[in-house]
Amino acid sequence: MANIATTKMTSKGQVVIPENIRKQLNLKAGTQFVVVGEKDVIILKNIEPPSFGEVGDLITEAREKGKQAGIKKSDIGDAILRVRNKKK
């Protein structure tokens, strides 16, 4: 069963996650959340950066898809230069 607790929002919009919930979910200072709000419901979902291995897997997958699409390294460099020039 889920732990239930109440909390208040400060004038700065800050909300304290009650200690029993923090302990149950092993939340530490600096934990990042995605916040979703709709009507009278607010959902906080803790997020963690991907592990080093997951990042490597994502890079490998991106390289494979780039090869399948016929993208060359020079195409990427050209695209970066075009975007940078548009920002000036």
Per residue in 59-81, pLDDT (tens digit) is: 999 999 999 999 988 898 888 98
> Are residues 75 and 56 located together in one domain of the fold?
yes
Q: CB within 8 A of 46, min separation 6: which ones?
A: 25, 27, 31, 32, 33
pLDDT value at position 88? 57
What is the pTM for the complete model shown? 0.54
> Are residues 3 and 30 located together in one domain of the fold?
yes
E strand or H helix at 42, and its extent? strand 41-47
Owning domain of residue 11:
1-48
Q: Number of structural domains, the chain?
A: 2
Q: What are phi and psi of 14, to 5 degrees?
A: -85, 140
> Are residues 7 and 34 located together in one domain of the fold?
yes
> Are residues 2 and 36 located together in one domain of the fold?
yes
CA dihedral sign of residues 70, 74, 78, 80: positive
> Are residues 31 and 62 located together in one domain of the fold?
no
What CATH code is carried by the domain that includes residue 38? Answer: 2.10.260.10
> Are residues 11 and 38 located together in one domain of the fold?
yes
